[in-house]
Amino acid sequence: MDKGTPKAIHLTAYRPSTHLIDTVDLHVDLREEATTVRARLGIRQNPARAGAEPLVLDGQRLELVSVTVDGVPLGPDGYILSPDHLTLPDTPDTFVLETVVRTRPQDNMALEGLYKSSGNYCTQCEAEGFRKITYFIDRPDVMARYTTVIEAEKARYPVLLSNGNLVGSGDAADGRHWAKWEDPFPKPCYLFALVAGDLRAVEDRFRTRSGRDVALRIYVEPGNEDKCDHAMRSLKKSMAWDEEVYGLEYDLDIFNIVAVSDFNMGAMENKSLNVFNTKYILARPETATDGDFLGIEAVVAHEYFHNWTGNRVTCRDWFQLSLKEGLTVFRDQQFSADMNSAAVKRIQDVQGLRTVQFPEDSGAMAHPVRPESYVEINNFYTPTVYNKGAEVIRMYHTLLGAEGFRRGMDLYFQRHDGQAVTCDDFAAAMADAGGVDLTQFKLWYSQAGTPELRVTGEYDEAARTYRLTVRQTVPPTPGQPDKMPMHMPLVTGLLGPDGKDLPLRLAGEAAPGGTSRVLELRAAEQRFEFVDVPARPVPSLLRGFSAPVKLTADLTDADLTFLTANDSDPFNRWEAGQVLGVRILLGLVADIQSGRPLALPDGFVGAMGAVLGDAGHDPAFAAQALVLPGESYLGTQMAVIDPIAIHEAREFARRTLAERLRDRWLATHRAHAGNEPFSVDAAAIGRRSLKNLCLAYLMARPDPEAVGLAIGQFHGSRAMTDVIAALQLLAGSDAPEREDALAAFYDRWKDDRLVVDKWFNVQATSHRPDTLDRVRALLDHPAFEIRNPNKVYSLIGAFAGGNPVRFHATDGAGYAFLADQVLRIDPMNPQVASRLMGQFSRIRRYDATRQAQMRTQLERIVATPALSPDVFEVASKSLEA
């Protein structure tokens, strides 16, 4: 760091702002040489802070032109200017501050604040980007009413947008024009947005349940108008769903979305002017996969739902980020579950949690859902805050029941609409509405690490009782050596010998009630005794993955196979197969490590064959059940991760299954290979995933017939899901046709940037030994753009995060490559550079050689002058671990 080691900010240091800002009047004059921003702020001292204190405004990379207080210009001795602040030592109790600043958005490659994407102006203010637009108290508990006038050249920037309602517009001199926007809702500055550009709108309408007619517009670059249907449909479904499930209506007459190509994250919930990464808007069946369609539906919903959970009720400070993100992810997960297959959605969400959040929770960057300190807030938009945060909300839902949860949400809005609040306020609303004590539950906000549960069961035939003993521990994480037991719901059922759920009666209860129970864990060790149990049952534990934990139970392979066939809880039916799969694969890993010969148990092959034989019954579920546990998840189950052995073990199992069940893979692929008309309903998606899974198994032993099928599908299908699945398999094979297929794909799609991203991704995730050389060469491909985050994530990010066997190659070349790219990107875009560092933060999970290789790269990174705080924080914490 050039400015010395950056300082950490602590939750415990929170104090209300010295001043409040009630009104903001912005005038933004966009010109090719520079942009001028005039801000008129209505400021007063905060009654919550006694005594007059200096006003410290945040501001970065701004050229200050003038400052006036109540219309009186201040000379240079009336204020103190530093790189990050403008300080006014002495101001009245209430006053109007006017500043004029100049910026150069065209030079802004960090994509934070005001910047240009494809020639259009746009903004990204969360978390602390507004300070790059104008001097302000840039913290979410300062909420103001905004009026924004935008002025720009009419021909180049015909569309001028900001938050709220359009209240005026007109032409100005020299071919320029202006528009005035007014947002009636007070908001924190991170929700401010402005867009100016040559964009086309796709329009629709939505009538809210109380009769408000809302104009919906999706703005895209010219030529993309035919790729907005799915996003628009998703938006209308989200609006209807939030009314139906939470009683929440939209609150303005306009809802705008703008899709931009250069965006650090997925999308942003700016009040009435969401800005999206094009990846989460643009889709046609020929250009987007089923995963893309589902991603669009989920992200459109997520940003829309933020209007209540995030905007109407916002965060007091950035430590409370999960207040809006965990809750909104939970809401978008519920929505997607209602729109599609609920079982498949839950399985995929849990897979995501296990492959991304669990590793984070056991690495150098492990942090609680509410972090206690940070150096750079942008580093805390993490799977822990978002996805583990959503699991915490799901546990409230499970503990309180759907109705209790809804009462809690109602109370939360009743108490806090229009306020900036904390996770404690949310917990209090839930506790009060549910009449429950959530004191211990709140440890989920402060303790990091994935809790581990060990469950044993004992059946007493004479007494007809079944006793479960549950022990929980929470592993130490950086800065948190000792943990307390957590409060969590363990949803449990018992299966009788006929495979049916038994009615459950706990000792002390008068009568049985239900076949699934929410057992509440609170202690390090707890016992639950079921009475009247007619025969030794098989327990179905943690149904629906009712808590974000690692569970170990004393179930035999036969018990697990029984659950795979019979569990009434679809998640656990899938999970039983995964537990079996993990056992077998970790056994193979151990065999590889000690040089023993490999064999796949017949019972496992038989069980997979049975699922496949029955696949026609529920293709979507079968497609999930037939996927072996992923390499990253298997790593989380090992004391020391051995990425090469994991890969070899999994590939051995896949090849064996391919061979032993070859006829069934073929038959099932053929049964679904006909070109049915394209639709993105859950059943059609399920059929396509099953078909492509069969092809993947066939290509695990790429004989000419399998390769022929892949090539046939690659050339014959019009749906990107099928085309890319085939291309991925060909690209990972030695088939001579692979280069032709890659070239044909590029040639067909070279003008569609999002599809070209897929082409990079396929090559970066290929398991072929020459992949790193290929990735290096692709950095120089004319279609690669180092400044475009989607391109960086598709090539560099996909290689580091999605190709463990090549990234963790024993020579350490993958690590050196990643460090080179981080250092190259950091001066342009620290957020993107820092996101690439994720793999390094898992350093202590690997063997000594890999640790030393990673350390070499991390030391090289921290020794680099002018490193961003973003990368510095991850690198230095990784070295400490």
Segment 316 to 345, residues that bind Zn ion, using CB under 5 A: 325, 328
CA distances from 749 to 219, 760, 853 (A): 23, 12, 38
Are 867 and 829 contacting, i.e. CB atoms less than 8 angstroms apart? no
742 binding partner (options ligand TRP, Zn ion, none; Cβ < 5 to 8 Å by kind)? none
In this complex, which beta carbon is closest to Zn ion, that of residue 35 or of residue 328?
Answer: 328
DSSP 368-383: -SS-SEES-GGGG-SH
Residue 267 contact among ligand TRP, Zn ion, none, beta carbon within 5 to 8 Å by kind: ligand TRP
From residue 11, how far is each of 209, 424, 668 by CA, in Å?
40, 13, 55
- The reply on whether position 272 binds ligand TRP by CB under 6 A is no
Count of residues in contact with ligand TRP, rule CB under 6 A: 13
Token pair of 467 as six digits: 């006793």
CB of residue 328 to Zn ion, shortest distance in Å? 5
Closest-CA residue to 574 (of 338, 340, 347): 347
Residue 536: CB partners within 8 Å, gap ≥ 6?
459, 461, 466, 497
Q: Give one DSSP letter per residue of 681-728, joined into a string.
A: SHHHHHHHHHHHHHHHHHTTS--HHHHHHHHHHHHH--SHHHHHHHHH
Q: Say if residues 295 and 213 touch (Cβ distance below 8 Å).
A: no
Instruction: For the CB of residue 725, give the shortest distance to Zn ion in the complex, in Å.
Output: 30
Name the helix (H) or strand (E) containing 348: helix 342-352
Choose the stretch contacting ligand TRP; rule: CB under 6 A; options: 16-24, 121-129, 338-346, 554-562: 121-129
The Cα–Cα gap between 494 and 566 comes to 11
- Cβ 276 to Zn ion, closest distance in Å? 12
Three-state SS across 760-801? Answer: HHHHHCCCCCCHHHHHHHHCCCCCCCCCCHHHHHHHHHHHHH
Question: Minimum distance between the CB of residue 127 and ligand TRP, rounded to whole angstroms?
Answer: 5
Q: Which two tokens stand for residue 878?
A: 């990784």
Interaction between residue 265 and ligand TRP (CB under 6 A): yes
How big is the chain by its Cα radius of gyration, in Å?
Answer: 28
Of residues 121 and 381, the one with the C-beta less far from Zn ion: 381
With H, G, I as helix, E, B as strand and everything else as coil, classify residue 66. strand
Choose the stretch contacting ligand TRP; rule: CB under 6 A; options: 266-274, 435-443, 599-607, 695-703.
266-274
Kindly list the catalytic residues: 303
Binding residue (CB under 6 A) for ligand TRP from 29, 126, 221, 297: 126
Per-residue DSSP letter, 73: E
Residue type at position 545 = F
DSSP H or E segment with residue 67: strand 63-69
Question: Any residues with CB less than 8 A from the CB of 586 and at least 6 apart, and which?
Answer: 634, 637, 638, 649
* Residues 6+ away with beta carbon under 8 Å from 764: 771, 775, 778, 794, 795, 796, 798, 799, 802, 803
Nearest-approach distance from CB 115 to ligand TRP, in angstroms? 12
Residue 388 near residue 369 (C-beta atoms within 8 A): yes
In whole angstroms, the minimum distance from the beta carbon of 267 to ligand TRP comes to 5
| Residue 783 CA: distances (Å) to CA of 106, 287, 607, 759, 787 | 21, 17, 45, 10, 12
CB nearer to ligand TRP: give 269 or 559.
269
The span of 120-128, 352-360, 501-509, 550-558 binding ligand TRP (CB under 6 A) equals: 120-128
Using CB under 6 A as the binding rule, whether residue 333 contacts ligand TRP is answered as: no
The piece of 124-132, 159-167, 172-180, 331-339 that touches ligand TRP (CB under 6 A) is 124-132
- Binding piece for ligand TRP, criterion CB under 6 A, among 262-270, 647-655, 764-772, 796-804: 262-270
Work out how close the CB of 314 gets to ligand TRP at its nearest, in angstroms, rounded to a whole number.
11
For Zn ion, give the closer residue by CB, 262 or 325: 325
Candidates 119-127, 439-447, 599-607, 724-732 — which segment interacts with ligand TRP by CB under 6 A? 119-127
101 versus 122: smaller Cβ distance to ligand TRP:
122
25 lines the binding site for ligand TRP (CB under 6 A): no
Q: How many CB atoms lie within 10 A of CB 93?
A: 9
124 binds, options ligand TRP, Zn ion, none, Cβ within 5 to 8 A by partner type: ligand TRP
- Distance, CA of 739 to CA of 734 (rounded, Å): 10
By CB under 6 A, residue 108 contacts ligand TRP: no
Q: Which does 698 bind (CB under 5 to 8 A by kind): ligand TRP, Zn ion, none?
A: none
Nearer to Zn ion, 325 or 870 (CB): 325
378 touches ligand TRP (CB under 6 A): yes
Please identify which residue in 218, 231, 258, 268 interacts with ligand TRP, judged by CB under 6 A: 268
Least distance between Zn ion and beta carbon 8 (Å): 24
Q: Choose, by CB under 6 A, the member of 103, 117, 124, 311 that binds ligand TRP.
A: 124
Measured from the CB atom, the residue of 355 and 378 that comes closer to ligand TRP is 378
- CB 541 within 8 Å of CB 566: no
Query: Which is closer to ligand TRP, CB of 387 or CB of 564?
Result: 387
264 binds, among ligand TRP, Zn ion, none (CB under 5 to 8 A by kind): ligand TRP
Residue 127 tokens read as 């978390």
Q: Which of residues 509-538 bind ligand TRP (CB under 6 A)?
A: none
Q: Is 267 in the site for ligand TRP (CB under 6 A)?
A: yes
Is 283 one of the binding residues for ligand TRP (CB under 6 A)? no
Nearer to Zn ion, 242 or 325 (CB): 325
CB of 216 to ligand TRP, least distance (A): 19
The nearer residue to ligand TRP, 128 or 559, going by C-beta atoms, is 128
Query: With respect to Zn ion, which residue has the nearer C-beta, 349 or 567?
Result: 349
- Helix 602-613 crosses helix 662-672 at what angle (to 10 degrees)? 20
Residue 241: CB minimum distance to Zn ion, A:
17
What's the closest the beta carbon of residue 302 comes to Zn ion, in angstroms?
Answer: 5
Tell me the site size for Zn ion, rule CB under 5 A. Answer: 2
Minimum CB–partner distance for residue 377 and ligand TRP (Å): 8
Residue 264 makes contact with ligand TRP by CB under 6 A:
yes
From 303, 425, 642, 757, residue interacting with ligand TRP (rule: CB under 6 A):
303
Kindly tell me which of 120 and 378 has the beta carbon lying closer to ligand TRP. 378
571: partner contacted, choices ligand TRP, Zn ion, none (Cβ within 5-8 A by kind): none
Which DSSP helix (H) or strand (E) runs through 729? helix 720-731
For CA atoms 428, 430, 435, 440, the dihedral sign is: negative
654 binds, among ligand TRP, Zn ion, none (CB under 5 to 8 A by kind): none
378 contact choice in ligand TRP, Zn ion, none (CB below 5 to 8 Å, kind-dependent): ligand TRP
Shortest distance (Å) from residue 690 CB to ligand TRP: 32
Q: Would you give the binding string for ligand TRP spanning residues 358-377, x where CB under 6 A is met?
A: --------------------
CA angle centred on 681, ends 676 and 686, rounded to 5°:
70
With beta carbons less than 8 A apart as the criterion, state whether 726 and 713 touch: yes
Bridge partners, 37 (sequence order): 28, 101
> Which three-class secondary structure string do you get for 455-482?
EEEEEECCCCEEEEEEEEECCCECCECC
What is the distance between the alpha carbons of residues 207 and 723, in angstroms, rounded to a whole number?
Answer: 39
Q: Where along the sequence are the contacts to ligand TRP (CB under 6 A)? A: 124, 126-127, 264-265, 267-269, 302-303, 325, 378, 381
Q: Where along the sequence are the contacts to Zn ion (CB under 5 A)? A: 325, 328
